[in-house]
Amino acid sequence: MMSQFKNIFAYSYFVMAALSISLNAPAIAGELALAQETVLPPLPVAVSNNAVAAVFTSQGSFIMSFAGLGSGKRHDDTHASTFVFDAGRQAWKESAPVPGGDGRLASVAVAVDGFAYVFGGYTVASDGSEVSLPYAHSFDPLRETYSDLTPMPVPVDDAVAVTFEDRYIYLISGWHDFGNVNLVQRYDTVSDSWMQATPIPGPAVFGHAGGIVDNQIVYCDGVAVKANVDRRRDFAATNRCYVGLIDEEDGRRIDWRSIPPHPGEPRYRMAAAGVGTGVLFIGGSANPYNFNGIGYNGEPSQPEPGALLYVPLSGSWHELPIDGDATMDHRGLVKFDQQWLTLGGMLGNQQVTNRVNSYRLDSAGQAAPP
């Protein structure tokens, strides 16, 4: 029994030590929390539902925002603008727009080997109709140029994207024109080709969030479609969470397993990413909504305070308080200079913002954006 106790103690110590190292701050009273550290200049314009990524090269470091929704929150406030923050100049500039000629929402972006990759999204017509886009592009922040890539086999928006082995990009579930899909589509940045990976086991969702730790994909929440008899379908938030282990011999194979839901209500459009030994989720809303921030139930949506951290090694959830304005309507969480950033998004009362919020662990026990 004593030997077993020692093993448990050693395991617990290892988990907390690993978290402290990976997030650059000590554990606090057995729990973790976030706090403000550095404030970067705001985006040139207020934007929400924008794809985000950060690229690091020997010639410079860059943060990028692609497309999104302007402060008017109407169908004609969608845009395809590209904004690039150059760390060397400490300034933003507008670059070439995302190709395709249309403003778009709910695209997703990731960084691989010095390039940003931008996928999908959807357009909104004046009558409110929406179309999922098949486009895939790479963006070179040094040359400020786009390259067209092989389109997605099944166009999706509001998906989760993660990278593996600095080569492969997995697009997990998402919305396709008239409904959700349970697909996991894998893109190979070397061969510019797509393959289907093991589908997700739970309900197909959109607006979920997730990240990857080593070969373990973690995603949570989002919105599932609920069919009804004799009336329109409902969009219902789901609190289901899953971890998927990528087979390192055959990356098309993913061993999906359910994990406990996080504390609190399910959240829609959180910012999330893998952060060393865990996956960090920030903000989001408990009331799923249309692109303008008004819930599918007709009620205005508000952002949820605080953040959540899931640690695959221990299978544990940690609630992280944030002392600052809550945000929602994010498409990703960006690591930059040992901090984690949200770019734009919506504040309370569906206010579209140009803020760049920065987070790090803090001994004060609170997490604060700028």
* Per-residue pLDDT band at 24 (split at 50, 70, 90): very low
**Residues β-bridged to residue 130:** 124
Q: Quick check: 347 pLDDT over 70?
A: yes
- Report d(CA 12, CA 6) in Å as an integer: 10
Q: Is the pLDDT of residue 126 over 80?
A: yes
Q: What is the mean pLDDT of residues 328-332?
A: 98
Q: According to the model, what pLDDT value does residue 228 have?
A: 82
Tokens of 340: 């984690």
What are the structural domain ranges in the chain? 1-46+262-370
Percent of the chain whose predicted confidence (pLDDT) is above 70: 88
pLDDT > 70? residue 1: no
Extract the runs of DSSP E, i.e. beta strands, from 158-270: 160-164, 168-172, 175-176, 179-180, 184-188, 193-197, 209-213, 216-220, 223-226, 234-237, 241-246, 254-259
Q: What is the pLDDT of residues 216-251, one digit of tens each?
A: 999 999 999 988 878 888 889 999 999 999 999 999
Which pTM was predicted?
0.89
pLDDT of 38 higher than 60: no
Mean of pLDDT values over 302-321:
95
Higher pLDDT, 87 or 32: 87
